[in-house]
């Protein structure tokens, strides 16, 4: 992998990740951009104890542009985009309309391929491995920013999810706090460790699922399963079999096997609802241990956390979506229309 860092016309950082070591990246951003002005602010809810970001500048962000005006495609002739070069393998840049900025963290965009009509599932294993390298590198770099406590790499795919740019891409959020969902895991981890005299909850969950009926796909170094209490109609959790706290700690064997396993999962998601169905909308989310202090989670350290990826779709059956209505949105009590055992069975049925 070759990494080349440069700047866009408004001063934002842009980084090329290339498969070839001899690739030269010297294209200049020719757009007349002014410096980005953001108004991101973190506010803490005194009743729930969580935090939200107020980012009113995002009202003006790019919204469903036609394909020939896509800002994530490479620049071609006089059609200038966020990527100055005429081609790329993988590229990462600071979001022009970030939810988090300055002392409130940082947001980046990850473009998986220059092919506008592709998806992550269309990538080669070599290309998917390069994306993994980019995620890992950005996790390392962002973790050293003084305002950052947790790094979250994710992909939203599909208009049903709320995606406003059709080009295959993901995002990275660098939060200035430990996110509420991770805090819940850490509290459960601490409670289980105390109750069992030191047993790791993540290890116990993975061992239980490996022995059960909800395993979807298993490799030498990774296992994917539908969790016992899945919140979403089709939801898969992907774990390395050797527990590590973050992407940085994955060994070479796990890195080598990941593209094959992950690409197969994504392709199965596109086959869940049968031939002729539109691509399955999904969210793919990496869960990594926070880099900040964990004193409030008594007895827990970073190495107790287990890196894993959660992949789920809001489509519950052909032509029907799972909406978060009163119980889910009002009380955070999910109601799942598809039994997890049946979801796992279906995901095994559509193996390539």
| Token representation of residue 24 | 């030269």
Active site residue 169: yes
**Would you give the distance in Å from CA 94 to the centre of its chain?**
16
- In 3D, which of 161, 124, 162 has the Cα closest to residue 262? 124
SS3 130: helix
Distances (CA, A) of 345 to 207, 220, 229, 339: 19, 21, 15, 10
* 3 state SS for 169-202: EEEEEEECCCCHHHHHHHHHHHHHHHHHCCCCHH
The four Cα atoms 20, 110, 176, 181 give a dihedral, to 10 degrees, of -120
- How far apart CA 110 and CA 112 sit, in angstroms, is 6
- How far apart CA 190 and CA 176 sit, in angstroms, is 22
- In 3D, which of 98, 111, 226 has the Cα closest to residue 167? 111
Active-site residue, selected from the candidate residues 169, 221, 287, 308: 169
- In 3D, which of 294, 301, 288, 292 has the Cα closest to residue 248? 288
Give start and end residues of each alpha helix (H) in 18-121. none
Stated as kind and residue range, the H or E segment containing 312 is strand 308-313
For 276: left if phi > 0, alpha if psi spans -120 to 50, otherwise beta; the answer is left
Give start and end residues of each alpha helix (H) in 242-298. 252-269
- How far apart CA 94 and CA 145 sit, in angstroms, is 14
Q: What is the CA radius of gyration of the chain?
A: 20
Residues with a known catalytic role: 169
């Amino acid at each position: 992998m070759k990494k080349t860092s440069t700047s866009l016309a408004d001063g934002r950082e842009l980084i090329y990740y290339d498969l070839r070591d001899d690739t030269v990246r010297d294209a200049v951003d020719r757009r007349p951009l002014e410096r980005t002005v953001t108004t991101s602010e973190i506010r803490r809810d005194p009743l729930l104890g969580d935090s939200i970001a107020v980012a009113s500048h995002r009202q003006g962000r790019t919204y469903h542009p036609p394909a020939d005006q896509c800002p994530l495609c490479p620049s071609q002739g006089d059609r200038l985009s966020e990527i100055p070069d005429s081609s790329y393998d993988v590229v990462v840049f600071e979001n022009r309309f970030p939810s988090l900025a300055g002392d409130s963290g940082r947001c980046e965009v990850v473009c998986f391929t220059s092919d506008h009509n592709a998806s992550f599932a269309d990538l080669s294993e070599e290309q998917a491995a390069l994306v993994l390298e980019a995620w890992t590198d950005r996790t390392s770099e962002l973790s050293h920013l003084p305002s950052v406590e947790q790094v979250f790499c994710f992909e939203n795919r599909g208009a049903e999810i709320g995606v406003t740019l059709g080009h295959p891409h993901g995002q990275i959020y660098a939060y200035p706090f430990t996110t509420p969902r991770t805090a819940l895991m850490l509290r459960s981890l601490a409670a289980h460790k105390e109750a069992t005299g030191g047993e790791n909850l993540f290890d116990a969950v993975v061992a239980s699922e490996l022995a059960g009926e909800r395993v979807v796909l298993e490799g030498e170094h990774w296992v994917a399963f539908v969790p016992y209490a899945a919140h979403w109609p089709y939801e898969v959790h992907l774990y390395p079999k050797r527990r590590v706290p973050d992407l940085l700690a994955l060994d070479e064997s796990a890195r080598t096997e990941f593209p094959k396993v992950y690409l197969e999962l994504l392709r199965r998601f596109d086959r869940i609802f049968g031939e002729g169905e539109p691509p399955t909308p999904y969210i793919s989310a990496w869960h990594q241990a926070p880099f900040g202090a964990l004193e409030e989670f008594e007895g827990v350290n970073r190495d107790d956390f287990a890196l894993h990826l959660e992949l789920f779709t809001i489509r519950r059956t052909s032509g029907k979506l799972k909406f978060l209505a009163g119980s889910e949105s009002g009380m955070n009590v999910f109601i799942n229309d598809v039994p997890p055992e049946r979801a796992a069975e279906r995901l095994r049925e559509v193996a390539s």
